[in-house]
Amino acid sequence: MTAVRTVDVALIGLGNVNRNFLAILETKAARLRSDYGLAFRVVGVADSSGVALQPGGFDPGDLRRRKEQGAHVRDLAGYRAHETPAGLLAILACDLVLEASPVNLVDGEPGLSVVRTALGRGIPVVLANKGPLVLAYQELHALAAAHGAALGFSATVCGALPVINIGQRDLVAADVISLRGIFNSTTNFILGEMAAGRAYADALAEAQRRGIAETDPSLDVEGWDTANKLVIVANSFLGMKATLADVSVEGITRVTTEQLQTELASGNTIKLLAIAERQSETCKLRVAPTVLSREEFLGHCDSWEMGIEIHSDLYGRMYYKIWEREPLPTAAAMLRDAVNILRPRR
Amino acid sequence: MTAVRTVDVALIGLGNVNRNFLAILETKAARLRSDYGLAFRVVGVADSSGVALQPGGFDPGDLRRRKEQGAHVRDLAGYRAHETPAGLLAILACDLVLEASPVNLVDGEPGLSVVRTALGRGIPVVLANKGPLVLAYQELHALAAAHGAALGFSATVCGALPVINIGQRDLVAADVISLRGIFNSTTNFILGEMAAGRAYADALAEAQRRGIAETDPSLDVEGWDTANKLVIVANSFLGMKATLADVSVEGITRVTTEQLQTELASGNTIKLLAIAERQSETCKLRVAPTVLSREEFLGHCDSWEMGIEIHSDLYGRMYYKIWEREPLPTAAAMLRDAVNILRPRR
């Protein structure tokens, strides 16, 4: 159909998400050419060991396999000693940055500097990493607007569930009256295991054994990952300039197996919810373990599912959830943002 | 923020949907200016009595109230005797057409000629009326592409639930493996009443009394409204050039109160489902009453709700539903399409 445009991409972070992005490029290259007129070429990469570039493009399959076999970027041809990811973005000729380095809520690095540098050069950025948005949502969007560079982040909330796109594109001119969501599947899995009789510590250990919880699970179980996503939601389609300081946060560490089983016996359950409630111009934001009827939509949103319900003045009551267990859908959500930024407008 | 652009609009059909669109213009005009830089001005209207135009713009509130008080377009200043809707679109200077005239599956008129004429002049069209798409999806999209005119239709499937947008914008590069949906709330309401013990005829009469079922309810109860929406889904994001002839259709007229109550007793229910199942390059399409567990997502999608579940190779399993009882959300979905077509690209 359309002429094929080659898109030179920098991948910042080569963990599960960007490795799955490489896997998608391997399987969907022909489809991306024929349906969207795009050919992605990975010209720069970064991990914790350093940065490397190949203007002719890395082979996606080879790059993915080497990382999975334990190689580091410093082992790759094109490795640049003493270069930082932001330093790479300051000089690299590329059309798109995919930022999926680890969440860092202290200073947002290395992601925050990468995003600032790329947007400052007018290069569009797609984020899976929530850190830069949580720390600097308004600054980064102002920077993007000033330089005419798109900033995609639909992969930062509920994996591949297009919560951000629905809020920004589909709730046109609406006032959100209330919103509730289950944004963290690690805690949702742990609560499910506890409802089945497991103690909190055992359920957490099981989540870690399966590799879905970090060795330091505090971001998940203390509710901060959920709060991060609520901050992004509040800024992106609740019309707020919110930060973490505006969210009252309680995690699941004080929920007991006994509480869960008592609720279960009376047809209820306990879920860790992100909640936004309209109060005139702004919304009250909180994260808290909440008793729900098993009959309710979110009371039925179990283990590997994440979901959201949105009640607005124009669009009735909407309910969305997704079941995903691997990082593939989140990587696909980054591809979705990239294609929607780069595809010719219909 | 941005400069405000005046958008001259023609409203074809002044039933519930376009009257609610007028109501939204009354309440959201300032918001549409400030957030989207758009000022909508209704310069042409048509109903079954004829067409009228006012280059300076009709007053939305006055127009809506007069229609609700029983006035017809032929009673309006600017009425054009002997002019057809398509004739109006052939000469009217306007930037957008909102087509919400009644569904006509025989020849698609008057909607089909309106859409052809507008797109042929490069004027973007937003549809709530499914008829033109069911009869001529491929032709109209080719016409739109040839004249660089956008064609929005997210209001045609599940009211304000953005099923079409999710399929076209959010499932980028995905292959849909299977899809099941409840697309018709009239039949969903009737089945709910029957599950509660009512006979089919009484449940249908109740739906008609509430004004949610047509005097001739055959489109709903015989499954054709659901099939229409499945055809639109298949063409818009299942990669098929499908027509009604490709859908095997069974309605709810043979479902009995006894069957429903027997299923209920064993924890199940019966829903009228639209089903698409991938078979290599194409999908098998059917509409049929289907037994579901009450525990399943769609088994829990009741009365005023419509919903869909989509299983794809890249985006996991997605579940979407909406609760809406009035035409307001469908009118808002037309506004959404209009704004997304006309707003400056981010």
Return the higher-pLDDT residue of A216 and B244. B244
The mean pLDDT values, 10 residues at a time, for chain A of 346 residues are 88 96 97 96 97 96 96 96 95 96 93 98 98 98 97 97 98 97 95 94 90 81 97 97 97 96 95 96 96 95 94 97 93 98 77
Cβ count within 10 A of residue B256 = 12
The answer for residues whose C-beta is within 8 angstroms of residue B46's C-beta and 6 or more apart is: B10, B11, B12, B13, B14, B52, B73, B85, B88, B101, B110
Pairwise CB contact (< 8 Å): A316 & B159: yes
Q: How many residues does chain A have?
A: 346
Q: What are the percentages of helix, strand and coil residues in chain A, rounded to 5?
A: 40, 25, 35
SS3 string of A159-207? Answer: CCCCHHHHHHHHCCCCCEEEEEEECCHHHHHHHHHHHCCCCHHHHHHHH
Q: For residue B282, what are the β-bridge partners?
A: B279
Q: What are the percentages of helix, strand and coil residues in chain B, rounded to 5?
A: 40, 25, 35
Give the pLDDT score at A320. Answer: 98
Cβ proximity of A204 and A217 under 8 Å: yes
CATH code for the domain of B33: 3.40.50.720
Q: Which two tokens stand for residue B312?
A: 């794809």
Interface of A with B in 66-85 (CB under 8 A): none
Give the pLDDT score at B210. Answer: 83
Among A32, A307, A318, the residue with its CB nearest the CB of B161 is: A318
Average pLDDT over residues B300-311: 94
Whether residue A196 is found in the same domain as residue A150: no
Among B36, B170, B316, the residue with its CB nearest the CB of A336 is: B170
Interface of B with A in 151-190 (CB under 8 A): 154, 159-162, 165-166, 169-174
Whether residue B181 is found in the same domain as residue B303: yes
Q: Residue A143 and residue A166: Cα distance in Å, rounded?
A: 23
> Which residue range(s) make up the domain with B65?
5-160+328-342
Whether residue A52 is found in the same domain as residue A175: no
Q: In whole angstroms, how far apart are CA B96 and each of A315, B4, B8, B119?
A: 22, 16, 6, 10
Sheet holding B317-323, edge to edge: A247-249, A282-293, A268-279, A176-182, A305-312, A317-323, B317-323, B305-312, B176-182, B268-279, B282-293, B247-249
Nearest to B221 by CA among B244, B246, B189: B189
Query: What are the pLDDT digits (tens) for A78-111?
Result: 999 999 999 999 999 999 999 999 999 999 999 9
Asked if B140 has any chain A CB less than 8 Å from its own CB, the reply is no
Q: What radius of gyration do chain B's Cα atoms show? A: 21
Give the percent of chain B with pLDDT over 90: 92
Whether residue A139 is found in the same domain as residue A183: no
Give the pLDDT score at B326. Answer: 87
Interface of B with A in 229-248 (CB under 8 A): none
- Neighboring chain A residues of B335 at a CB cutoff of 8 Å: 172-173, 314
Q: Residue B242 and residue A335: Cα distance in Å, rounded?
A: 28
Give the pLDDT score at B29. Answer: 97
Give the pLDDT score at B213. Answer: 74
Cβ proximity of B129 and B156 under 8 Å: yes
Whether residue B109 is found in the same domain as residue B221: no
The answer for residues whose C-beta is within 8 angstroms of residue B174's C-beta and 6 or more apart is: A332, B312, B313, B314, B315
Give the pLDDT score at A241. Answer: 96
Interface of A with B in 209-228 (CB under 8 A): none
**CB pairs A-B closer than 8 Å:** 136
Among A172, A297, A307, the residue with its CB nearest the CB of B336 is: A172
- Neighboring chain B residues of A307 at a CB cutoff of 8 Å: 319
Sheet holding A50-53, edge to edge: A79-80, A50-53, A38-47, A5-12, A96-99, A125-127, A151-152
Query: What are the pLDDT digits (tens) for B266-295?
Result: 999 999 999 999 998 899 999 999 999 999
Whether residue B149 is found in the same domain as residue B283: no
Q: Which amino acid is at A185?
A: S
Among A150, A154, A172, the residue with its CB nearest the CB of B340 is: A172
**Burial grade of B82 (CB within 10 A; 0-12, 13-18, 19 or more):** exposed
Could you tell me which chain B residue has the CA closest to the CA of A346?
Answer: B150
CATH code for the domain of A195: 3.30.360.10
Tell me the H-state helices in B92-199: 111-120, 131-146, 163-165, 185-195
Give the pLDDT score at B201. Answer: 93
**Burial grade of A210 (CB within 10 A; 0-12, 13-18, 19 or more):** exposed
Whether residue A10 is found in the same domain as residue A151: yes
Interface of B with A in 302-321 (CB under 8 A): 307, 314-321
pTM here?
0.96
Pairwise CB contact (< 8 Å): A159 & B316: yes
- For residue A298, the distance in angstroms to the closest alpha carbon of chain B comes to 11
The answer for residues whose C-beta is within 8 angstroms of residue A158's C-beta and 6 or more apart is: A181, A183, A229, A306, A307, A308, A322
Pairwise CB contact (< 8 Å): A170 & B159: no
Phi and psi, residue A152, nearest 5° = -100, 140
Residue for token pair 């004027």? B123
- Neighboring chain B residues of A335 at a CB cutoff of 8 Å: 172-173, 314
Whether residue A113 is found in the same domain as residue A174: no
Cα Dmax for chain B: 62
pLDDT at B212 over 60: yes
Among A162, A307, A316, the residue with its CB nearest the CB of B160 is: A316
**Average pLDDT of the residues of chain B:** 95
Q: Residue B332 and residue B335: Cα distance in Å, rounded?
A: 5
Q: Residue A238 and residue A240: Cα distance in Å, rounded?
A: 6
- For residue A204, the distance in angstroms to the closest alpha carbon of chain B comes to 24
- For residue A151, the distance in angstroms to the closest alpha carbon of chain B comes to 9
Q: How confident is the model at residue B196 (pLDDT cuts 50, 70, 90)?
A: very high
Q: What angle do CA A158, A162, A163 make, to 5 degrees?
A: 70
Query: What are the pLDDT digits (tens) for B231-242?
Result: 999 999 999 999
Helix orientation angle between A131-146 and A111-120, rounded to the nearest 10 degrees: 10
Whether residue B167 is found in the same domain as residue B315: yes
Query: B interface mutation test: which of A141, A175, A312, A315 has the most B CBs within 10 A?
Result: A315
Q: Residue B170 and residue B145: Cα distance in Å, rounded?
A: 21
In the three-class reduction of DSSP (H, G, I as helix; E, B as strand; rest coil), residue B219 is classed as helix
In the three-class reduction of DSSP (H, G, I as helix; E, B as strand; rest coil), residue B228 is classed as helix
Whether residue B22 is found in the same domain as residue B143: yes
Whether residue A195 is found in the same domain as residue A113: no
Query: What are the pLDDT digits (tens) for B108-130?
Result: 999 999 999 999 999 999 999 99
| Total domains in the fold of chain A | 2
Q: Residue B139 and residue A167: Cα distance in Å, rounded?
A: 32
Pairwise CB contact (< 8 Å): B165 & A161: no
Q: Residue B291 and residue B64: Cα distance in Å, rounded?
A: 43
Pairwise CB contact (< 8 Å): B316 & A322: yes
DSSP B39-93: EEEEEEEEETTEEEE-TT---HHHHHHHHHTT--GGGSTTEETT--HHHHHHH--
Whether residue A207 is found in the same domain as residue A153: no
- Neighboring chain B residues of A159 at a CB cutoff of 8 Å: 316
Give the pLDDT score at B115. Answer: 98
Nearest to A230 by CA among A186, A170, A272: A272
Nearest to B72 by CA among B47, B97, B89, B93: B47
Pairwise CB contact (< 8 Å): A335 & B173: yes
Task: Tell me the helices (H) and strands (E) count for chain B, helix number first.
Answer: 12, 13
Phi-psi region of A183 (alpha: psi -120 to 50; beta: other; left: phi over 0): alpha
Give the pLDDT score at A345. Answer: 64
Give the pLDDT score at A314. Answer: 97
Residue for token pair 């035409």? B327
The answer for residues whose C-beta is within 8 angstroms of residue A147's C-beta and 6 or more apart is: A119, A120, A121, A122
Task: Tell me the helices (H) and strands (E) count for chain A, helix number first.
Answer: 12, 13
